[in-house]
Amino acid sequence: MSDENKRAPGQFRSRLEQALNESWYGNRRWTRKLRPLSGLYKTAARLNKPNRKDVYTSPLPVIVVGNITVGGAGKTPLVIYLCELLQANGWRPAVLSRGYKSNIEQYPHMVGSNDNASSVGDEPFMLSRRLGIPVCIDAQRSRGARLLLARQLCDVIVCDDGLQHYKLDRDIEIAVLDGQRMLGNGLCLPAGPLREPARRLASVDFVVCNGEPAHEELDIDAVMQLTVQSIVNIKSGERVSLDNFVDMNAGAPLHALAAIGNPSRFFSLLEQLDLVFDRRVFPDHHKFALSDLSFGDNNSLIMTEKDAVKCTAIATDKCWYVQISAQLPKDFDSRFIDRLATLCKGPATGNATAGGKSERVSKQ
């Protein structure tokens, strides 16, 4: 099979995702004709919620970082930020993830040194490598939470996504919104991008907006800004500043690719950095082949950190990724830590149960 034929399914999915996003978030309105199906979707989602007896309540505090829209909103940078904030305040966090597109024989699974992005999923692998803390993957998140508790690996669990996974109870819910896209046309799937109606935001503890909100009718608790830490060579691990990276490329146009939920956000970041580049978009969580990284010249290729972890084995010395960090107001930090303190006795001092809950707040 030729490279062109191999790319065809991915290209079709990319075009479909682009068409949906243009309708949900832009001026095209063809998906509004699907509004009757949105009603069926909301009914099915409501009926699919588990009975209280089927919900697992962990003795450890559970923090869920998710969104009510499909596609990328900035959850993973916020998860990294929260884990580092928790560590700075004496907690021992672990991350619990679905492990989307993972390929493991038995779940739950702790991400380890023998894993890679193909085996455990790109986001869990990136989080494990970036944070150096326990990362557990399991689509049945309650089962993963039980494993973290049994092995005493942490005193607080941070769920990367899972706002709609109601079989695991949670103490703090944080919903992330894309400041550019917000809630799009405000309709539920498939007519719009919402997994749950907009009123769901009123029940979460914090609403964090990734970038300044495009409009102000929603109640936002904090605005998250993403800043560039460094540009990292995928093959060698060399880290350079943005200025040095620009000098190294001597004004030559770059190639940029993205296989994330909202590629335009990454490309906008590169434009804000005054980089000159052409772009190539792949479906979210795309599995890269060597041909995807080939552009027929020797110019540098730049991508996201989440994409980079899937390219380690095939990257050349011209392949780089942008390492970003989230910045939130100090007021959010204190409110978040105070909120956790009202629910729990405090960070564990000797074992995983020492920071147990003093109060349970159900999000059902």
pLDDT tens by residue, 113-162 = 999 999 999 999 999 999 999 999 999 999 999 999 999 999 999 999 99
Q: What is the pLDDT of residue 1?
A: 44
The burial of 99, by beta-carbon neighbours within 10 Å (0-12 exposed, 13-18 middle, 19 or more buried), is given as buried
Residue 249 has pLDDT above 50, yes or no: yes
Q: Sketch the domain layout of the chain as residue ranges.
A: 52-224+327-343, 226-326
* Fold (topology level) of 226-326: Rossmann fold (3.40.50)
Task: Quote the strand ranges of the chain, DSSP E.
Answer: 62-66, 93-97, 109-110, 135-137, 156-160, 172-178, 206-210, 222-233, 239-240, 254-258, 277-281, 301-304, 319-327
**pLDDT band at residue 353 using 50, 70 and 90 as cut-offs:** very low
CATH of 52-224+327-343, one of 3.30.499.10, 3.40.50.300, 3.90.1150.10, 3.40.50.1980: 3.40.50.300
Let me know if 129 is exposed, middle or buried by CB neighbors in 10 A (0-12, 13-18, 19+): middle
Task: Judge if 52-224+327-343 and 226-326 fold alike in CATH terms.
Answer: yes
pLDDT digits over 154-185, tens only?
A: 999 999 999 999 999 999 999 999 998 999 99
